[in-house]
Amino acid sequence: EMVMTQSPATLSVSPGERATLSCRASQSVSSNLAWYQQKPGQAPRLLIYGASTRATGIPARFSGSGSGTEFTLTISSLQSEDFAVYYCQQYYMWPPLTFGGGTKVEIK
Amino acid sequence: EVQLEESGGGVVRPGGSLRLSCAASGFTFGDYGMSWVRQAPGKGLEWVSGINWNGGSAGYADSVKGRFTISRDNAKNSLHLQMSSLRAEDTAFYYCARPSGSSIPSYFASWGQGTLVTVSS
């Protein structure tokens, strides 16, 4: 099974600052990597797919990079609505499709 | 607009069974694979099962293999998850999720709001 490891578990950031979230795969997933945002009481929302392509309607302050086993989600200038939990997911190898454990971005 | 609406959740005793459904609208259901993803309260996301566009191929997480069965009815735009031999660790919100295309391995562009399954005596 492909194991996805996210770090850090919690990231404390001030509004307007940059946030950098990491996701590591136990084996190469090429660019078959997606990022999701989830707020309390809501379903996840797709942010990024193909490691670096923003989904429809996602602001340009969200960017994804990486390939193989190392990936990064960057939020260039955190807005109040960006405080949430972020998950990465690989869709290169299945079953199963696998998610990382999540990174909670909280207000500093 | 893509809409996915889950139903069928509830409280069930360990060892019991439950059938979840997902009603889809706003897109051509038969063109897409579909999956179920679950989330235990306060925990992360876990893919449970997926099925391709015509039901000819399906996959399961090891944690549910042999106990859960995914199916679909393209004529009724509906997805189902038959769950049996339920355990306490199956307690979770169950989301219906639509990938980007007809096959199973994909990212999930659309999600339902989830239905809560609680396994408790």
3-state secondary structure B79-117: EEEEECCCCHHHCEEEEEEEECCCCCCCCEEEECCCEEE
**B83-117: per-residue pLDDT in tens?**
999 999 999 999 999 998 878 889 999 999 999 99
What would the two tokens of residue B8 be? 């069928």
Q: Given CB atoms, is A55 within the 8 Å cutoff of chain B?
A: yes
Q: What is the pLDDT of residue B88?
A: 98
Which residues from chain B sit within 8 angstroms of residue A47, using beta carbons?
none
Chain B residues contacting A via beta carbons under 8 Å? 35, 44-47, 50, 59-62, 95, 99-100, 104-109, 111-114
What would the two tokens of residue A83 be? 């405080």
**Maximum Cα–Cα distance for chain B, whole Å?**
40
Mark yes or no for CB contact B44/A102 under 8 Å.
yes
Q: Are B9 and B18 in contact (CB under 8 A)?
A: yes
Number of residue pairs across A and B with CB atoms under 8 Å? 66
Token look-up 């069974």 returns B17
**A6-52: per-residue pLDDT in tens?**
999 999 999 999 999 999 999 999 999 999 999 999 999 999 999 99
User: Whole-angstrom Cα distance, residue B110 to residue A80?
Assistant: 24
Sequence-distant (≥ 6) Cβ neighbours of residue A6 within 8 angstroms: A21, A22, A23, A24, A86, A87, A88, A100, A101, A102, A103
Mark yes or no for CB contact B50/A94 under 8 Å.
yes
Distances from the Cα of B80 to the Cα of B9, B28, B118, angstroms? 12, 17, 18
Q: Given CB atoms, is A97 within the 8 Å cutoff of chain B?
A: yes
